Structure formats: C-alpha cells, structure tokens
C-alpha cells in the first residue's frame, strides 16, 4: 500500500485541462514523442499545485501523493499505481481514453463512426449535386466539360463534408483527440463510415454515355479520319458522300479537332509501333472517352448484378478500413501511408473476389435456367 499522505483534500487543486484538437495532438506526438509531450504537460500542471503533490516521475513510478486522492488508487500497492503516459494524459488534458478498459477500443470506434456519419452523408450528397450541376453547363469541348464535372464533383463533396462536420460538432460537441493506442480504431471507423456512406455510388452512376460528350466527339472524329474514301480525299480526290460524312460528323468538333481529323494519316514503318494512330483521335480525348464508357459500364453492371456489386463494394470498404487500421499501427500519424494502405486494402480484395463472384453468378444463372426448362417440361 502507498505511504500515508501529508497532503489533505483541500490541497488538491481543480486542474484546467490542457485542450488539444485531434490534429494538434497528432502533430505534438509526432514531433515531440508521447513521453516528452506528457512530461511537459504534467510539469506545467504541477506548477499550479502544492510542491511535491505530483510530478511526471512520481506519477510514472506510482509514488505521487496525488494518487491517494484519486478513486481506485489509494489502497493499491506502489507497483499497481504506476501510470503510463497514456494513463496520465486524460488527467490533465482533453485526450480521451474511454475509460482505459478492455472495451475502450470499441467505444472509440463507435464514437468516431457517429461523428463521421454526417460528413460522409454530406460528402455523397454534395458530390452528386455538384456533378449534376456541372453536367448541365453548356460546355462544348469534352475535355473542358470533363474537367468542369470533376471540379463540380470535388467541390460539392468537400462542401458537403464541411457542412456535415459542422453539423456533427454542433450536435455532439467539438471532437477530442484519443490516446495513440486507440487511434487505429478511430481511423478504421472513419474510413468504414465514409465507405458505407458511399455504398450507393455504383447505382448513382449513369448507364449511358453522353454526360461529358467525349464518346460522341471521338466517334465523329473517327468518321472523318477513317471514314469512306478518307485516304482518297487526303490525296485530293473529291467524293460527294465523303463530303456529306464530314458535314454530319463535324457536329461537336472544334476547328482544331476537325482540322486534325481531316489531316490524320495512318502511321507507316516503325512509327506504327511507336506512335499512337492519329486517325483514332488525340490521346487525351481517347482516355476521356474510355473513362466515360467505363463509368456507364459500371452503372449498368451495378444495376444488372446488384448482389455481386454490393458484396464487392462491401469487401472493398472493409479492406480499406482494415488498411487504415494497419497503417496507423505500422506507420503512426502518417497520412500518406494511410492513403496507400486504404487504396491497397480497398482495391486488392475485390480483384481477387471478382472471378469467384462471376463464377458463382454464372453457376446460379445456369442452375436457374435448367430449373426453368425442367419446370416447363422442356429439358
């Protein structure tokens, strides 16, 4: 048991907690280290108390007289009163340990999930609203249109996230930092909640191309550069049908793209293997066209295979959440490593799962078709 204290209860001051934001606390731990940060805070707080009541060292070795006045410590032997840095911080700061018991990780996870629900929902709503508003702007060039839609989506998402955070702080109060050992759970909860908020994204994607216009413009470009009698026209021969094709296909093409399409010629010699075929359109336009087709294909796939899409998205979200947890354990405080682990955790498991789900889906459809044939008496 601890030695009898010479201090009385009236000697214990009311400590004003040292307040951190989560970002400032993470920065402090990263730059100073948890021990140095805790030590400096304790020594500042000790300056407001009676001399000898406590110090960083006596809190660490369990001999601080202050512990005699804290619930659960007075009757403990010295060995059991020794405090770690993470146990000391909540006494003098707003850093949360959620009771420090076995269930504290679960409580930290739930708290962060609650706080992230509003920002996650706001981010999705803002992104959809921003994309729809930008898509309505009369911008003819697909590259400019794509950039504007992307900008509108990002701006809408950031605005929605900001408003969601403000709402969360208004309802739940300002967020407090957590002790470093709980930070992996907090990061995991944040990533998981954002992911769940975005779970409906595949079903919000368009099923047809046209929002950007890249596919249409590229098709028109090819109709001119690779259409009927295109080679003869480049050699100076006039063809009426060819002229009609050019007039019809030039819709949506800028003067620059139209000129490129008219002058595009097939690569010859080694250039065929080195340079992209100019008749197929500028590389930037081809990439944007591929993205537009890919988004439409994803939208169609989600609607055609809702169960497989939901499973795949769920696995990706869970993998990203696990990646956020792992990154904080291995590289604490690093946002870049967290992003890398989230991308890897969210991308690799679905890739491995896709062929399995495809096989299951085909097998299920085959079995259903076979059942229908037998049920109809036509095996």
DSSP string, 87-127: HHHHHHBS-B-GGGSTTHHHHHHHHHHHHHHHHHHHHHHHH
For residue 72, the SS3 value is: coil
- 250 is a domain residue: yes
Residues 258-289 pLDDT 10s: 777 777 777 655 556 566 777 787 888 888 88
Q: Is pLDDT above 60 for 356?
A: yes
Handedness of CA 225, 227, 230, 231 (dihedral sign): positive
How many other C-beta atoms are found inside a 10 Å radius of the C-beta of residue 113?
Answer: 17
Q: Which residues of 166-176 are buried (b: 16+ CB within 10 A; e: fewer)?
A: eebeeeeeebb
pLDDT at residue 240, rounded to an integer? 47
Judgement on whether residues 310 and 339 belong to the same structural domain of the protein: yes
pLDDT at residue 359, rounded to an integer? 63
Residue 326 sits at the vertex; the CA angle it makes with 323 and 328, to the nearest 5 degrees, is 110
Q: Do 249 and 220 form a contact (C-beta atoms < 8 A)?
A: yes
- 354 is a domain residue: yes
Q: Do 92 and 40 form a contact (C-beta atoms < 8 A)?
A: no
Domain limit, last residue, from 223, 256, 290: 290
- Where residue 235 falls among pLDDT bands split at 50, 70, 90? low
Mean of pLDDT values over 155-178:
95
Judgement on whether residues 108 and 90 belong to the same structural domain of the protein: no
Residues 18-49 pLDDT 10s: 999 999 999 999 999 999 999 999 999 988 88
- 300 is a domain residue: no
pLDDT at residue 260, rounded to an integer? 77
pLDDT at residue 188, rounded to an integer? 96
**Residue 247 CA to chain centroid, in angstroms?**
46
More confident call, 248 vs 222: 222
- 204 is a domain residue: no
pLDDT at residue 154, rounded to an integer? 94
Domain limit, last residue, from 150, 169, 187: 187
- 83 is a domain residue: yes
Backbone angles phi, psi at 108, to 5 degrees: -65, -40
Judgement on whether residues 227 and 183 belong to the same structural domain of the protein: no
Q: What is the 3-state secondary structure (H, E, C) of 175-200?
A: CCCECHHHHHHHHHHHHHHHHHHCCC
pTM above 0.85, yes or no: no
Span of 98-112, 142-156, 211-225, 263-277 with lowest mean pLDDT: 263-277
Judgement on whether residues 81 and 126 belong to the same structural domain of the protein: no
Share of the chain above pLDDT 90, in %: 41
- 165 is a domain residue: yes
More confident call, 364 vs 101: 101
Judgement on whether residues 134 and 108 belong to the same structural domain of the protein: yes
pLDDT at residue 115, rounded to an integer? 96
Residues 287-300 pLDDT 10s: 888 888 888 888 88
Span of 91-95, 240-244, 313-317 with lowest mean pLDDT: 240-244
- 193 is a domain residue: no
For residue 18, the SS3 value is: strand
Structure tokens at 150: 């992307």
269: left (phi over 0), alpha (psi -120 to 50) or beta: left
pLDDT at residue 230, rounded to an integer? 57
Structure tokens at 100: 């420090």
User: What distance in Å separates the CA atoms of residue 74 and residue 69, rounded to the nearest whole number?
Assistant: 7
Residues 302-354 pLDDT 10s: 888 888 888 888 989 999 999 999 999 999 999 999 999 999 988 887 777 66
Q: Is pLDDT above 60 for 243?
A: no
Judgement on whether residues 175 and 110 belong to the same structural domain of the protein: yes
Domain limit, last residue, from 50, 73, 95: 95
Q: For the chain, how many structural domains are there in total?
A: 4
Which range of residues forms the domain containing residue 329? Answer: 305-379
Judgement on whether residues 86 and 26 belong to the same structural domain of the protein: yes
- 349 is a domain residue: yes
User: What distance in Å separates the CA atoms of residue 45 and residue 54, rounded to the nearest whole number?
Assistant: 9
pLDDT at residue 310, rounded to an integer? 87
């Amino acid at each position: 048991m601890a030695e009898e204290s010479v201090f009385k209860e009236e000697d214990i001051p009311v400590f004003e907690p040292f307040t951190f934001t989560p970002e400032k606390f993470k920065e402090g731990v990263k730059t100073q280290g948890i021990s140095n940060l805790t030590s400096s805070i304790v020594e500042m707080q000790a300056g407001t108390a009676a001399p000898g009541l406590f110090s960083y060292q006596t809190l660490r070795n369990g001999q601080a007289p202050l512990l005699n006045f804290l619930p659960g410590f007075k009757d403990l032997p010295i060995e059991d009163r020794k405090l770690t840095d993470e146990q000391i911080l909540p006494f003098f700061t707003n850093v949360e340990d959620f009771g420090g018991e076995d269930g504290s990780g679960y409580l930290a996870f739930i708290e962060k999930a609650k706080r992230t629900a509003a920002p996650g929902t706001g981010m999705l709503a803002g992104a959809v609203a921003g994309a729809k508003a930008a898509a309505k702007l009369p911008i003819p060039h697909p590259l400019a249109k794509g950039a504007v839609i992307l900008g509108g989506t990002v701006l809408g998402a950031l605005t929605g996230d900001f408003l969601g955070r403000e709402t969360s702080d208004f309802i739940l109060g300002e967020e407090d930092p957590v002790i470093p050992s709980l930070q992996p759970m907090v990061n995991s909860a944040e990533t998981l909640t954002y992911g769940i908020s975005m779970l409906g994204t595949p079903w919000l994607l368009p099923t047809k191309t046209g929002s950007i216009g890249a596919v249409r413009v590229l098709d028109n470009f090819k109709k001119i550069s690779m259409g009927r009698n295109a080679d003869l026209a480049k050699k100076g021969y006039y063809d009426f049908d060819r002229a009609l094709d050019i007039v019809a296909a030039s819709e949506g093409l800028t003067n620059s793209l139209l000129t490129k399409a008219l002058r595009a010629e097939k690569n010859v010699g080694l250039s065929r293997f080195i340079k992209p075929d100019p008749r197929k359109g500028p590389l930037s336009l081809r990439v944007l066209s591929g993205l537009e087709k890919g988004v439409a294909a994803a939208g169609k796939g989600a609607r055609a295979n809702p169960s497989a899409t939901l499973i795949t998205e769920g696995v990706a979200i869970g993998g990203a959440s696990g990646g956020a947890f792992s990154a904080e354990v291995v590289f604490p405080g690093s946002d870049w490593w967290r992003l890398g682990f989230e991308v890897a955790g969210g991308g690799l498991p679905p890739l491995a799962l896709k062929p399995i789900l495809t096989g299951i889906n085909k097998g299920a459809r085959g079995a259903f078709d076979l059942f229908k044939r037998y049920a109809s008496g036509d095996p």
